[in-house]
Amino acid sequence: MVFPTGPPGIRFFAIAAIASMLALASGATVRAQNRGQISFSAGEDALASGEAWDAREYFERAVREGYPAGPGYRAVADAYLALDNRLFFVREALERSLRAEPDDIETWYRLADVNLRLEGGDSDPRARKALHEVFRLDPHYRDAYARWERMYLDRSDSRDVAETFARHLARDFDPDVALRRIDVLNDAGEHRSALEAIEEFRRRVPQERYLARLSHLSGVVLAALGESEQGAGHYFNGLAFAATEPDLEPYYRDIQPLLSDHERVGWMDWSVERRRSFVEGFWNARDPLPFSDVNERWVEQQNRIRVARESYQWKKPISKERLVDVGGRDSGMPVVVIRLDGRSLDDRGAFFLRHGEPDETAGVGRDECGFWYYNRDGLPNGEMGVNFTDGNKLMVGARGVFFGNDCNFTTVPRTPLALEYFNAGGLTGNDLARAQEEALRDMDIGLAIDTYDHRVEHRMPVDLAPANFSYFRTETDVVFYFAVPVPEIEVRGDRSRYRKGLVLYDENWREITRQSEDMRAVVTRAIDGEEKRGEWYLVDLFRVRMAPGTYHYALQVDDLQGDAVGIQKGTVRVRHFSPTGLDVSDLLLSAEIVEGGRVARFERYGRMIVPLPSHRFLHDQPLYLYFEAYNLQTNDDREIEYRVDYTIHAKKIDRSAIERFFGSLRGLVGVREEPEAITLSFERRSPHLGGRVWPEHLSFDASALPAGTYTLEVKITDHAFFDRTTQRTATFSIVD
């Protein structure tokens, strides 16, 4: 402002005049602000009374009358929200507010929320920009980070967010922000930078509190860099130390797309211990080779996650959940709502995360929609086909609708490969309805299970037969007998060397024990002669004493002189044996039983038993049976007195053949014939030698039976104690 110059009297008059003008202006401003405040208060009253349209007019008038633009336009936005969510007008009002107050974090947050709700056009970049401003001001503000995480992955956007976090960390190293930055860098594909950030974190922060989350990030980053073994070590070590819900959250997010609805609901109510046990069991159940250096399924799943995150994103402007609600199951619209790390995937992503790369596709390239075909042992019928259609080609009613370039599940096969899969003769008449039914069935199967075929160059067959024996009063002696055909492994100097390993898990697949040992082979054979060397078997065992219950097991055999690997996984039900009542062990069918054993681990009560776990016997091969009876009582003469009924079940059966089969046994007291079974009964009486275990072994003439499958049932009746009974069965085959 230029003040007048001149004589003092004139200068005084001018200054006084200017002061008077300023006072008038100030008064006018105050009066305008007062009018603005009055209008703003009227708007608040109108909004509270449900008169949103009048409130909007009052708020806009208040700004014109001098009320501060920042809060004034925020109030305008509130009024528009109350007017049936007029989101475009809300967005405009919030942007005007921010021009007046560019550092108002709540308004930036609300602007991001409005753009996320608009779901279309330029809303996505506007929402990202608003969230970036929130992160600039406060990276922990409300749930802004969680909202940003749910948007589809844009690597450039992720790098910008990582840079914003880096500026915060340069001023104040916040461990939680540092962990977020590592996660963002990994998602952006900046794995080397993420690894450097992990190393910096380790140098600057005591790790006890953050061990689980940092180890998870270390595992996935190292896996992305090809260091799978080292990465798995970090990952599962971190899982073992997870002690809080935030610790377990990233581990859960890795497997959440593969879980059933029941498991997802259950997770919300489980304790931290139950959650950790569940995740551990999830990976243990899927580990194809538990004695290898790394869980191969974990490596595969980390790769699937990286590919799905990049290639199968949901980029349509309308949310996946809303489109499903609008479209329904049979309109060609998506039927699968699948999220990975909170981000929506298109329908291909759901199948890719569960089953990996399809074995065949309708075209070349990962972006091909068309038809995906899987041929897997883990599928109920061994195969599965899934149709996808380009989102641009979706039709609703009779008009075309643009939904983006993502692929969506459809029941209608459109490619030659899909037509061949559903009906090799082509779709005519009712065939289309049947094909659509089959497409829905395959989809339900594909989304109910997950598969992974781990390729082993030389996979050798392993036969396994767990057997239960009573052990004292509370535990059971479980013997895992297994056999490998000798030609499947390298034999040098008439010997083979191998490593055997057994892992036992509880009912939820949580590991409870493991054993592993390098061995030299003990070999049993079906017959003499090199011409049938395929009937020679390497036989071995593991012995474990366990409480009764249901357990899972994984047995692995590695050829130490070659490259063969054998694996058997399954469930074993460990029996409870009565400490006083009559009971009998499982039945062991063997190719050899020798009194006075030579190999200690095969001995039971002075007998060396080398069973044949395949239960497959040749005609000219001896067949032995071993079992143990428990708690046989004595009669008045201090003798045990009991009857054994041996029953052979088969579709075709001949009495004379069965009698020859049992020809070496003495004490036959009766024969009972049924249409598909013959029972021979034998009485036994002998002095009681003390103890509760009565071992029994017998040999049979296998040549008496024609080729086929048989079930042998052994029933024991204790005459010395009210004729109480117990029985067990075993199945075997006779081959030519």
Question: Do 592 and 722 fall into the same domain?
Answer: yes
Query: Does residue 157 lie in a domain region?
Result: no
- CATH assignment at residue 49: 1.25.40
Same domain, 513 and 655: no
Residue 24 in any domain: the answer is no
First to last CA, the chain: 117
Residue 497 sits in a domain whose CATH number is 2.60.40.10
Residue 232 near residue 218 (C-beta atoms within 8 A) = no
Paired strand residues for 399:
396
Q: How many domains does the chain have?
A: 5
328 and 437 fall within a common domain: yes
Shared-domain flag, residues 675 and 700: yes
Alpha carbon distance 562, 594 (integer Å): 31
Same domain? 427 vs 541: no
Residue 690 lies inside a defined structural domain of this protein: yes
Q: Which residues contact 604 (CB under 8 A, 6 or more apart)?
A: 469, 626, 628, 695
Closest-CA residue to 410 (of 435, 394, 387, 440) = 387
Cα(685)–Cα(661) distance, rounded to whole angstroms?
Answer: 22
Residue with tokens 């001018």: 14
How far apart CA 398 and CA 402 sit, in angstroms, is 13
Whether residues 543 and 627 fall in one domain: no
Q: Has residue 6 got a pLDDT over 70?
A: no
363: pLDDT confidence band, cut at 50, 70 and 90?
low
In the structure, what pLDDT confidence band is assigned to residue 425 with cuts at 50, 70 and 90?
low
- pLDDT, tens only, 124-172: 999 999 999 999 999 999 999 999 999 999 999 999 999 999 999 999 9
Residue 611: which region, alpha, beta or left (left: phi > 0; alpha: psi -120 to 50)?
A: beta
SS3 292: coil
pLDDT higher at 521 or 100: 100
DSSP string, 27-84: HHHHHHHHHHHHHHHHHHHHHHTT-HHHHHHHHHHHHHTT--HHHHHHHHHHHHHHTT
C-alpha 279/C-alpha 254 separation (Å) is 10
User: Which span out of 324-333, 651-660, 671-680 was modeled with the highest average pLDDT?
Assistant: 671-680
* Claim to verify: residue 327 and residue 461 sit in the same structural domain: no
Tell which of 561, 576, 591 closes a domain.
576
Q: What is the pLDDT of residues 204-253, one digit of tens each?
A: 998 789 999 999 999 999 999 999 999 999 999 999 999 999 999 999 99
* Burial status of residue 44 (CB atoms within 10 A of its CB: 0-12, 13-18, 19 or more): middle
**Pair 51, 120 in one domain:** no
Of 162-176, 544-558, 604-618, which gets the smallest average pLDDT? Answer: 604-618
**53 pLDDT higher than 50:** yes
Q: Are residues 7 and 42 in contact, defined by beta-carbon separation less than 8 angstroms?
A: no
For residue 567, give its domain range: 457-576
548, part of any domain? yes
Question: Is 53 among the domain residues?
Answer: yes
Q: Does residue 107 share a domain with residue 91?
A: no
- CB-side neighbour CA atoms (13 Å) of 698: 18
Contacts of 468 (CB under 8 A, 6+ apart): 476, 477, 478, 574, 575, 577, 585, 586
Residue 256 located in a structural domain: no
According to the model, what pLDDT value does residue 321 have? 72
CB 94 within 8 A of CB 74: yes
Q: What is the pLDDT of residue 223?
A: 98
Same domain, 522 and 496: yes
User: Does 415 reside within a domain?
Assistant: yes
**Quick one: which of 464, 471, 468, 470 has its CA closest to 502?**
464
pLDDT (mean) for 179-200: 97
The reply to whether 349 and 423 lie within a common domain is yes
pLDDT grade for 324, boundaries at 50, 70 and 90: low
Tell me the pTM. 0.86
Mean pLDDT for all residues in the chain: 88
Same domain, 85 and 111: no
Confidence of residue 427 (pLDDT cuts 50, 70, 90): low
Asked if the structure places residue 251 within a domain, the reply is: no
Q: Domain boundary at 385, 419, 446, which?
A: 446
Query: Is 174 exposed, middle or buried (CB count within 10 Å of its CB: 0-12, 13-18, 19+)?
Result: middle
Res. 424: pLDDT tops 80? no
> Which uninterrupted H or E stretch holds 175?
helix 175-187
Per the model's pLDDT, the better-predicted residue between 421 and 640 turns out to be 640
User: Does the structure show a pLDDT above 70 at 329?
Assistant: no
387-413 tens-digit pLDDT: 888 765 544 433 344 445 578 888 888
511 close to 606: Cβ distance less than 8 angstroms? no
Domain closes at, from 398, 421, 446: 446
d(CA 459, CA 569): 14
Report residue 274 as tokens. Answer: 């139950």
